[in-house]
Amino acid sequence: MILVAASFAVLGAACNAVGTAFQRKAASSVPSGGGLRLLLALARRPVWLIGIGGVLASATCQAIALLNGPMALVQPLFILELPFALLIGARLMHRRMPAPGWWAVAAVVTGLVLILASAAPSGGGNEAPMVRWVPVLVLCLGAMGAAVVVARPGRPPLFRAAALASAAAVGNALTAALLKSASDSFAEGGLPGFLSTWQTYGFALVGSAALLLLENSLQAGSLAASQPALTIGDATVSLLLGVLLFDEHIRTGWWLVPEALGVGCIVWGVLRLTRVVPGAQQTLVGDDSLQRPPSPR
pLDDT of 235-279, one tens digit each? Answer: 889 888 998 999 998 888 899 999 899 989 988 888 887 776 655
- Alpha-carbon distance values, 288 to 97, 120, 285 (Å): 17, 43, 9
- Sorted by where each begins, the domain ranges of the chain are 2-285
Selection from 20, 90, 99, 13 nearest residue 52 by Cα? 20
pLDDT in tens, 51-94: 888 888 988 998 899 988 899 899 889 888 878 877 776 665 56
pLDDT tens-digit profile, the chain (297 residues): 788 989 999 999 999 888 877 776 666 666 655 556 666 777 677 777 888 888 889 889 988 999 888 998 998 898 888 788 777 766 655 667 777 888 888 999 999 999 999 988 887 788 889 999 999 999 999 999 999 999 888 788 888 888 898 999 999 999 999 999 998 888 888 888 889 999 999 999 999 899 888 878 877 766 666 777 887 888 889 888 998 999 998 888 899 999 899 989 988 888 887 776 655 545 444 444 333 333 333
3-state SS class at 189: helix
Q: What is the pTM assigned to this prediction?
A: 0.78
